[in-house]
Amino acid sequence: MGKNLATKILEAHLVEGELIPGKEIAIKIDHTLLQDATGTMAMLEFMAMGAPRAKVELAAQYIDHNLLQTDSKNADDHVFLMTAAQKFGIHLSKPGNGVSHQVHLERFGAPGKVMLGADSHTPTAAGLAMLAIGAGGLDVAMAMAGHPFHLPCPRIWGVKLTGKLPDWVSGKDVILEMLRRHTVKGGVGKIIEYYGPGVETLSATDRGTIGNMGAELGATTSVFPSDHRTREFLEAQGRGECWQPLTADPDAAYDEYDEIDLSALEPLIACPSSPDNVVKVKDVEGVKVDQVIVGSSVNSSFRDLMVVCRILDGKRVAPHVSFNINPGSRQVLENVAAQSGFMSLLLAGAQVHQPGCLGCIGMGQAPGTNQVSLRTFPRNFPGRSGVKNDRVYLCSPETAAAAGIYGVITDPRKLGEFGPCPRVENPQKYLLDDSSIIPPLEDTSGVEIVTGPNIVPFPEFEELPGELTAEVIIKVEDNISTDTIMPAGNRVLPFRSNIPAISQFVFEQIDPDFHKRAKEKGNGVVVGGENYGQGSSREHAALAPRYLGIRAKIAKSFARIHKANLINFGILPLTFENPADYGLVKQGDKVTFKNLRDLIASGAKEIPVQVDGREIVTILEVSERERQDLLAGGTLNYVKKGNL
């Protein structure tokens, strides 16, 4: 049997281990990606390692999340990131230049490269046949310092695409169909590789949309082949020299298979409050819509915005609807304006915002009480919009535009009454302007890193004790996201470089007193259900609980990135050997881990836990390298001792 594309790229970058699913491997990283919500802490971690300069082929720092400057904190941190990027040889994309995923696709991405990004939607680069993986900031800082990235070898899931998307259906509906079939846990431990005759009908930005929301399936990443559509996009970006053909062998084998007939897809929508609560748009028609937002992290490309422009041209949005456009990049905005799309939006009554994440990360654009918000965003986890008990739906740009015109959720195929479906192609040559990207300096000797008052030293953590007695501080259900553990938004994110301050918001949505109880108890445990820690890559969801004294999390299962982040900061990621034991543990229980250090040092997989006099067995599924990190109290402690 031949090789699939994911295996070929992994083999070309493999530095440790064997490509056996589930076994730990280490791969060489070509590109690193940071954004300002994660990059400030990652840069502090990089500085703590003492590396004089980023050692990857290309490192990029984007300022795209924390764009609201309600006080000095965000502005100060932006200056810190700018000066640190200059000091360490990193490309810096300034505020307003665009979302990291979109800008990297446009200006830096190249087929066959492996990228590690401190953002879970880094896999947008699948649109250029990159193997782009989301990770915690510390893992990215380690890669910048020249270390390989360690991860369990993923299974390769082949998804064959046939046919061609019908009118009023787009790339967003493809990934919503995947979520409808497989849920937010369906991709855990897997790379999704798309192949088949339907692939060539999708542009690079269509593919980027599908790769972006593969994160919502829990996938390690997604990948598409590099073909004439890839070359078409790179040449339009003036970067044709980056192109190379890459594809799976004709007889390639996969660990799992699925198939989607693109021509059979209908407009889909994810209902509140999970990306996998997917139904046909026609099944929820008539729901009054108060807010529509197109753009931000996904569906913010030229094609996505321009199709909305064409639909709205000569029309007005419904009087009660707030219709918002968040371009993915300054380049997208310039090219839409050049084709008169900007005027169509203004005359239709839309509000056009600066390129950036904005409402996708809860940075403004919150809906009103009990209002329905349709968004082309990748996530609708409870409260992520900034409003408790929010009613957020996820949909395609076509469905968003239809809701804007009719004022209710509407199958976009009904727009046919105004004329044929607009067929928007990406430009043959984009208007290019890299003036908002500051390239690395060759001589950095005169650069001084400017540190604002909100940046506090990285906390020091103790190594793992011989025995541990703690209390269950909170018990939560299945599919708890990092948004629930560590909220984002304009109140919280400005404290991203101040762990003592940001720790006060841990579990705030569901338990405002969590941080007080955790600090009072000294040592704490969190108990969770399935897929604990899904969603964002933000390491603060592990780092802040560790600062509060959380030493172990016991769950039915963990999301990949969050589990890695827990290990990085010395929190034991334990799973129930018997899932039924979840029902035996309650908040307030006293738990005891006897001979804990010896068990972990000896390689024990089973870790007994005394819970109020009863013993249950938990499982520690980690590599030998990760055991050393846990024993040291975290990866930075281990590195500082001269290891790696």
The one catalytic residue in 13, 31, 65, 101 is 65
For residues 367 and 323, what is the distance between their CA atoms, to the nearest angstrom?
A: 11
195 near 248, Cβ under 8 Å? Answer: yes
User: Nearest Cα to 206, choosing from 236, 257, 165?
Assistant: 165
Which of 121, 310, 330, 379 is an active site residue? 379
Give the contacts of 280 (CB within 8 A, at least 6 positions apart).
Answer: 266, 267, 268, 269, 411
Please report, as a single letter, which amino acid is at residue 123.
P
Q: Tell me, what amino acid is at 508?
A: E
Q: Is the dihedral of CA 511, 512, 515, 516 positive or negative?
A: negative
Identify whether 560 is a catalytic site residue.
no
Told to judge if 623 belongs to the known catalytic residues of this protein, a careful annotator would answer: no
| Alpha-carbon span 485 to 499, nearest angstrom | 14
Please check whether residue 558 is in contact with residue 478, taking contact to mean a CB–CB distance below 8 angstroms. Answer: no
> Residue 1: CB partners within 8 Å, gap ≥ 6?
251, 252, 253
Active-site hit among 536, 537, 540, 629? 536
Q: Which position among 91, 121, 182, 538 bears the catalytic label? A: 538
| Positive or negative torsion for Cα 74, 77, 81, 83 | positive
Distance, in Å, from the CA atom of 562 to the CA atom of 541, rounded to the nearest integer, reads 8
Which of 371, 353, 349, 372 shows the shortest CA–CA distance to 363? 353
Length of the chain: 644
> Scanning the structure block, which residue is given the tokens 């000066």?
83
Is 391 one of the annotated active-site residues of the chain?
Answer: no
How far is residue 484's CA from residue 481's CA, in Å, rounded to a whole number?
A: 5
Strands 190-195 and 155-162, sheet pairing: parallel
Check if 64 is active-site. Answer: yes
Could you give the CA distance from residue 395 to residue 380 in angstroms, rounded to a whole number?
11
Neighbours of 16 (CB within 10 A): 12
Taking a C-beta distance cutoff of 8 angstroms, is the pair 564, 133 a contact? no
CA distance 37 to 140: 14
Tokens at residue 218, please?
């829990």
Sheet holding 149-152, edge to edge: 14-16, 24-27, 149-152
Catalytic annotation present for 445: no
Choose, from 30, 64, 206, 581, the residue flagged as catalytic: 64
**536 catalytic per annotation:** yes
Out of 30, 76, 77, 119, pick the active-site residue.
119
Quick check: 430 and 236 in contact, CB under 8 A?
yes
Of 62, 43, 58, give the one whose Cα is nearest residue 103: 62
Annotated active-site positions, please?
A: 64-65, 119, 379, 536, 538
